[in-house]
Chain A
Amino acid sequence: MIYAPSDLWLRVPARPENVAVVRQALTGICEALAAEAKVVADVKLAVTEACTNVVVHAYGEDAKAPSIEVEAHPGVDGLSVVVRDHGRGILPRAESKGLGLGLPLIAALTRNVEIRRASEELGGTEVVMAFALDETAIEWNEGGG
Chain B
Amino acid sequence: MNTQQIVVDRTEAGVSVVVVHGEHDVYTAPSLREQLTALVEDGSPVVVDLTPATFIDSSILGVLLGGLRRAREHESGFALVIGDASEPTVRRIFEVTGLFPVFPVFPSREEAERVALANGSE
A56 CB contact (under 8 Å) in B26, B89, B94? B26
Chain B, interface residues (CB within 8 Å), range: 20 to 34
- CB <8 Å contact, A44 and B89: yes
Does A41 touch B at the CB level, under 8 Å? Answer: yes
For the residues of A in contact with B, the DSSP-based class is helix
A52 CB contact (under 8 Å) in B57, B89, B91, B96? B57
Instruction: Name A residues whose Cβ lies closer than 8 Å to a Cβ of B.
Output: 16-17, 19-20, 23, 38, 41-42, 44-45, 48-49, 52, 55-56, 98-99, 101-102, 104-105, 108-109, 138, 140-141, 144-145
Instruction: Provide a sorted-by-A list of 27 A–B residue pairs whose CB atoms are within 8 angstroms.
Output: A16-B27, A19-B26, A23-B23, A23-B25, A23-B55, A41-B88, A41-B92, A44-B55, A45-B55, A45-B89, A49-B57, A52-B25, A52-B57, A52-B58, A56-B26, A98-B58, A98-B59, A101-B97, A105-B93, A109-B96, A138-B96, A140-B92, A144-B95, A145-B82, A145-B95, A145-B100, A145-B101
